[in-house]
């Protein structure tokens, strides 16, 4: 396909379990790539699906295969309902990330459900999906994948910082793109706030009301992951095995755990931003992801980093990942590189994504 214009539905489900992001996008190739974010929507997960997805990491492989089929059917239903509400003209592809259940790149394994061939048949549209498995097979981390979009769509910023279930950064250094996960963010905070009956910490109000425990903060900041060199990535397994036990063993009130963990996030991100030479007063940082709405956290990040942190426009905050996975789908159609070895640690740059016809 040699077209220079594509209409794409980007579909993304993040580890924070806030819902499925669907973004209808138009991409145009001129001297550079241009994009238009058109109809966009986040469809919140039903409570039963939140439980299923949160507990899936402990399921058997057979149970996961059954869940994969059910989730593919569920995803197709959400997509088809979205298309009824927002008639999408001349849709070329659906580019879907699926939902990460297992991510163990050091063991050569990553598993995103919802990427079965049935998705194309149920939606009656060409689908590009399952973007991570090839990179892991090539010795990479399978993450982060978004930096290809940062390079080709957002290169006017010194760095791109996304704060979703995990926080990750992407920037250029000596003409090479660097990106990696910094720490777990909303995947931890949201788990804590649910214990208080809230889906998330609105504006960081709970964190602001709690007390930071210096002993717990020190333990969190000393976790070995932060001393590892990139490329590196994180998954739910690491959070359950490492972070949750530290928080639980503290014995603190939930409000104080939230306050302390929010401060921990700000410390880790500020450390990375302060040491990123690509960021200058003239280019700044593009901040996206749900964590960008946490005003208490963002204020602490500014104070600790000494940088002016500017949140992207709301549509970009919420749908940047869906946008870029849509873009990765376009690059896959064009058989051009959409995963960078400098970012993931794979043996080579490559063009990832499985193609399924209806």
Residues 34 and 167 in one domain: no
- Mind listing the pLDDT tens digit for each residue in 226-237? 999 998 989 888
Do the domain assignments include residue 208? yes
CA separation for the pair 123, 118 (Å, rounded):
8
Q: Which two tokens stand for residue 234?
A: 């994180």
- Weakest-pLDDT range from 85-99, 210-224, 236-250, 262-276: 85-99
Which among 291, 329, 294, 79 is positioned nearest to 187, based on CA atoms? Answer: 291
Which among 35, 7, 9, 12 is positioned nearest to 94, based on CA atoms? Answer: 9
Residues 168 and 285 in one domain: yes
Which among 226, 228, 127, 179 is positioned nearest to 346, based on CA atoms? Answer: 179
* Residue matched to tokens 């979703």: 164
| pTM over cut 0.85 | yes
Is residue 304 within 8 A of residue 268, CB to CB? The reply is no
Residues 167 and 137 in one domain: no
Residues 295 and 157 in one domain: yes
Residues 49 and 164 in one domain: no
Structural domain boundaries, residue 23: 5-143+319-356
Beta pairing, strands 310-311 & 166-173: unpaired
Q: Check residue 3 and give its pLDDT.
A: 62
Would you tell me the crossing angle of helices 254-274 and 214-221 to the nearest 10 degrees?
50
Sequence-separated contacts (24+) of 236-239 with Cβ below 8 Å: 236/15, 236/57, 236/100, 236/103, 236/187, 237/57, 237/102, 237/103, 237/104, 238/184, 239/184, 239/187, 239/188
- Mind listing the pLDDT tens digit for each residue in 188-242? 999 999 999 999 999 999 999 999 999 999 999 999 999 999 989 898 889 999 9
Residues 113 and 179 in one domain: no
Is residue 344 within 8 A of residue 232, CB to CB? The reply is no
Mean pLDDT of 38-59: 93
Is residue 186 within 8 A of residue 239, CB to CB? The reply is no
């Amino acid at each position: 396909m040699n077209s220079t214009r594509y209409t794409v539905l980007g579909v993304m489900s993040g580890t924070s379990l806030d819902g499925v992001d669907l973004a209808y996008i138009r991409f145009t190739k001129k001297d550079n790539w241009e994009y238009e974010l058109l109809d966009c929507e986040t469809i919140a997960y039903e409570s039963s699906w939140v439980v299923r997805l949160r507990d899936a990491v402990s399921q058997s492989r057979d149970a996961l295969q059954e869940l994969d089929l059910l989730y593919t059917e569920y995803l197709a239903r959400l997509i088809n309902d979205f298309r009824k509400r927002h008639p999408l003209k001349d849709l070329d592809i659906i580019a879907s990330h699926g939902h990460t259940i297992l991510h163990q790149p050091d063991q050569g394994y990553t598993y995103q459900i919802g990427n079965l061939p049935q998705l194309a048949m149920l939606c009656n549209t060409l689908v590009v999906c399952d973007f991570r498995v090839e990179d892991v097979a090539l010795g990479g981390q399978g993450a982060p994948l978004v930096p290809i979009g940062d390079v080709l769509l957002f290169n006017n910023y010194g760095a791109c910082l996304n704060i979703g279930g995990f926080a990750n950064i992407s920037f250029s250094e000596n003409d090479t793109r660097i990106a990696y996960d910094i720490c777990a963010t909303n995947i931890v905070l949201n788990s804590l706030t649910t214990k208080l009956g809230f889906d998330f910490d609105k504006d960081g109000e709970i964190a602001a009301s709690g007390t930071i425990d210096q002993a717990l903060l020190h333990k969190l900041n000393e976790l070995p992951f932060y001393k590892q060199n990139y490329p590196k990535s994180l998954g739910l397994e690491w959070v359950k095995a490492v972070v949750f036990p530290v928080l639980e063993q503290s014995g603190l009130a939930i409000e104080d755990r939230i306050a302390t963990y929010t401060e921990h996030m700000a410390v880790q991100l500020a450390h990375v931003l302060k040491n990123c030479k690509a960021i200058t007063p003239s280019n700044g940082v593009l901040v996206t992801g749900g964590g960008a709405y946490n005003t208490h956290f963002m204020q602490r990040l500014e104070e600790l980093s000494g940088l002016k942190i500017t949140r992207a426009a709301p549509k970009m905050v919420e749908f940047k990942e869906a946008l870029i996975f849509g873009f990765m789908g376009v690059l896959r159609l064009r058989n051009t590189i959409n995963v960078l070895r400098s970012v993931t640690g794979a043996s080579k740059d490559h063009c990832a994504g499985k193609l399924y016809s209806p």
